[in-house]
Amino acid sequence: MLFLVFQIGRNRYALDSRRVVQVLPLLKLKCLPHAPKGVAGVFMYHGAPVPAVDLSELTLGEPAAELLSTRLIVLDYPGSGDQVHLLGLIAEKATEVIRREPRDFVDSGFNIKAAPYLGPVLVDSRGPIQWLREQHLLSQSIQQLLFGSPALLDSAAAAIQELPSG
């Protein structure tokens, strides 16, 4: 299985690459007013608005550094029922992929209620890599906000279109 590796703070995490649609450079985002912490904004992806979540801000409270190695990962986020939404994840040092088997990851032995997205852990020569379960990443209220109200995204999209170009 192929995993996309990135960092949050100084720790490394892995994402199942089958969920990943495309890895983009860090784009300019349109801020969503009154959005909860971690929701970085909305960007237009081939004509459709896609919300973006800053992983560093979501988990550590600090926005990701604006470096070339900070990327915007577009992934299929499972919604209610069969629905799949596109979601952007801003992740630092998203520059590597690794090929590992799921059984190479071992249970970390603890469960943090507030962080149900933390999965099993793999240890390589540079230290641990934790599997990030993307489907548990967003809390119910954020999911509701991002995918439950298309009107909000559409109004943000309209605002993006109205921005003067350049």
Partner 1 sequence: MSEPGTFAANAPAPDDLTDCWRTNGVYGTRTCPQLTDYVHCRNCPIHARAGLEPLNRPVPAGYAEHWTDHFEKEAWSRRSRPSSAVPFRIAGEWLALPTKCFLEIAEWRPIHSIPHARQIVLGLANVRGELLICISLGHLLGLADVPPRNLLRAKHAPLLVLSWAGRRVGFPADEVQSPSRFSSEQVRPAPPALAKANPAFSESMLQWRQRTLILLDPDRLFLALNRNLT
Decide whether 65 or 115 has the Cβ nearer to partner 1.
Answer: 65
Q: Which stretch binds partner 1 (CB under 8 A): 55-63, 65-73, 105-113, 140-148?
A: 65-73
Number of residues in contact with partner 1 under rule CB under 8 A = 24
Nearest CA to 53 out of 91, 10, 8, 4 is that of: 91
As a whole number of angstroms, the distance between CA 79 and CA 26 comes to 24
Distance between CA atoms of residues 55 and 73, nearest Å: 11
Binding partner 1 (rule: CB under 8 A), the pick from 19, 60, 63, 69 is: 69
Give the x/- contact pattern for partner 1 in 16-35, rule: CB under 8 A: -----x--xxxxx-------
Residues 74-93 that bind partner 1 (CB under 8 A): 93
**Paired tokens of 119:** 């999965």
CA 109-54-47 angle, to 5 degrees, is: 130
Residue 111, token pair as written in the block: 């469960």
Q: Is 100 in the site for partner 1 (CB under 8 A)?
A: no
State the Cα angle at 14 between 9 and 17, rounded to 5°: 135
Q: Are 153 and 42 within 8 A, CB to CB?
A: yes
CB atoms within 10 A of CB 83: 9
Give the shortest CB-29-to-partner 1 separation in angstroms.
8
- Does 61 interact with partner 1 (rule: CB under 8 A)? no
Does residue 67 bind partner 1 (CB under 8 A)?
yes
Q: Is 104 in the site for partner 1 (CB under 8 A)?
A: no
Residue 113: helix, strand or coil by DSSP? Answer: coil
Does 162 bind partner 1 (CB under 8 A)? Our answer is no
The residues binding partner 1 (CB under 8 A) are 21, 24-28, 43-47, 66-70, 93, 95-96, 125-126, 160, 165-166
